Chain A
Amino acid sequence: MENKLQEIAKKLLTDGEVDLVIGYGADTDRFIEPVFITKPDEAKKLLWNKKCFNNLAVYLTKDVVKHANKVGIIAKGCDIKAIVGLIQESQIDRDKVVILGISCDGVGEPLLKKCNGCDVNTPKLYDHLIGDPIESTLREDKYAEVEDFERRSGEDKKAFWDKELAKCIKCYACRAACPLCYCAKCVVEKNIPQWVPTSPHSAGNFSWNFIRSFHLTGRCVGCGECERVCPVGIPLGLINKKAALEVKSAFEYEAGYDYEVEPPLTCF
């Protein structure tokens, strides 16, 4: 698969079809770091394996991409859901990205939580498919953890979030890693007046984490990046999945599958 990946990336760059390829390169003990390839010869740096965690779609709204004419991006099915969201929300043109979609049977050892509930092992949208199509076998219902949590008493839920959110240090890594948190000025940065308290105390942390989730309701694609990067280990996915489940039951809509469908809560 790696060979095919490098081959296609090299060809895209050689033919001038794209002037940048965003992919996975440099192997480390933690994961494969993102790389930005601009020369055909460097395409051989591209890697694919079970340590390719990052959702590279986060870079599609950054300057490095805005300055490029056309970009190639290596993306797993779950990452492509975020690309779908960005197209829907007019953040990128479908014509401006060449998607090298990966047939993926899961990352992480043991598998990341999201991979157990994956229904996009073969991506739903791509320009080139790397690897043979894989049929999704849902090992787990992705909303199961929300349903389990819902069974707890109100008091119990409150105690759980009090404890978890007390850990938040307001580093905003969750926002930085989220492909759909692309606002040039986040609501917490609007300080005339200051709408959301920026202090990492209880009121500030509840405001931040729930406002972020509200803003992603119907938009979060469940790529799990926010939870992966949170340095203190807050189960952020649980908040986002709860919101996604509400949208699913109210509008029969789940984010990230089809960019031609109008999202129920965000029409631009």
Chain B
Amino acid sequence: MSAFFKLLARNRLALGGLIVMGLVVALALITPLLPLVDPDATNTANRFLPPFSDGALLGTDALGRDLLSRLLWGTRLSLAVGFAAALFAAVAGAAVGIIAGFYGGRTDNIIMRAVDMLMAFPYILLALAIVAALGPGLVNALIAVSVVNIPFFARNIRGITVGLANKEFVDAAKLAGMSNARIITSEILPNVVPVIVIAMSTTIGWMILETAGLSFLGLGSQPPQADLGSMLGEARSALITNPHTSVIPGIMILIIVMSINLLGDGVRDALDPRLKSGALSRPMAATRVDRKHTPAPEARTEGILSLENLRTEFHVKDRIYKAVSGVSLSVKPGECLGVIGESGSGKSVTALSIMGLVASPPGVITGGAARLEGRDMIGARYGDLRTLRGRRVAYIFQDPLATLHPLYKVGDQLVEAISSHRAISKSEGRAKAIELLKSVRIPNAEERVDSYPHEMSGGMRQRVGIAMALANDPDVIIADEPTTALDVTVQAQILSLLDDLRRERGLAIVFITHDFGVVAQLCDRVAVMYAGRIVEEGPTMEILRAPAHPYTARLIACVPELGAGKRKLEAIPGLPPSVDALPAGCAFADRCLKAQPSCKEGEILLEGTGSRAVRCLYPELSLSKETA
């Protein structure tokens, strides 16, 4: 609760709202003590005095009544009526909601049907009907406004009560022979009261506005008694000649409602946990780049795609998570490079950084380069980057149900991959889409082209994902765990499809996975990542036969039979260190059986000769000796 108030206080607008509201309420409370003129004392000699007149700070109205006095008394009345209406609606609505939620079944059904009916009215019609039946008057307007708002409370409270009614402590109370009334008052009520209070606080501004509205229409408070609404309503006839009589009560309503809205927003934000974590911020079109040293925009590189010392961080509040700290990789045409690691090892972030697809905020690329044929794409202008995305470097993602747009036909999504880069006619696009679907071996491609993603199986959707990546004949495909969500047979099909495609088209593939079995089937070379770094690199077969890094050895030992075992890495005790507090020395030291004190000191380099390299002081296999 105190954390809640802290959060509220941090929201400066909400705090402002709270202060203004507090002032208005305080003013309304002390109104009877202030030396004010009688608000209903008429004085026809002093009609329509302007503001700042002698003896009438805010002037007078059509009957010569003092506006300041009327304003304060009117505010008091409006607040009281709005509060009373909210309280009445909350109590009645909560009672209805608790009864419906607690008893359930038929009772619940009938009550909620009635509530639905009430909600089918535009709210003011119901209020007008009630006022029509009861006759105009402030109390009747109050009743009308409360009744109209009962369904809102009833629905909210019912939902919570239903949840509570099935909890163990309620069952226990029932078994203990407590009466339903006792259970409601002792077990249910204490749990719903906070919700009632919050719901009330968010609707009270609304209630004040609605009762003021009815008074404005002449259906609420009757002369000479006046709330803010009826003051405004009466002043309307003199709007053009004496606007101050309208402006004064109008501004007061505005101030009240606005401060309550500000406060309500603050309460809502404080209660919404997503806002606390900053998760509601949207990713920008490309990852933010903030590099201390800008590498040369062009450089001669080996391979078609190469990463140089890439660093990507997540900046969340004052914490920095080093997801990728200095990764260098390269891949040649027709080659498949596996990047393997546990979740959180930074392998996916590495893959997404290449084309600036890391969600930002919070992602920031803080160093290094990602070169396509020598050209650095990290510093590239957004416009240039966009034309490379999908055309030269394409992605295949995990879980195609989430990664395909749910409301577009798959054919249209395929065509769009092409039309984003070159103009294409409708008929040509459709033909091309069908051809692409056929190339990934989707049966009935002519019909499937008009399907929506939710109408396809997981394997078919992933084929669509692959077809989309192939649409522009890219040079590099980055596949981010494309088979994880699929069952073993479908997985094998997808892998052999990718293998064929790379051989036919000379594609370079970067294949991100956590599964050595998959790597063994497809990849020529493999890089093992741990805590944002590459710990071992080399040809797949050599590493599988004789891993050098203790971590790699353990990973391989986890796969009982290559390509057929369980698809999850497991059985390495312990967890990787959190990347916002990396220890000195080897990040694997806490889980490593061979760890020595020297492992926890200084920087350990990725060293080796020939095609292999390892980042370890005491490797399972000394690379320099073997290759020497």
Asked if A and B bind, the verdict is: no
Q: A interface vs B, CB < 8 Å?
A: none
Q: Measuring CB to CB, which residues of chain B are less than 8 angstroms from any residue of chain A?
A: none
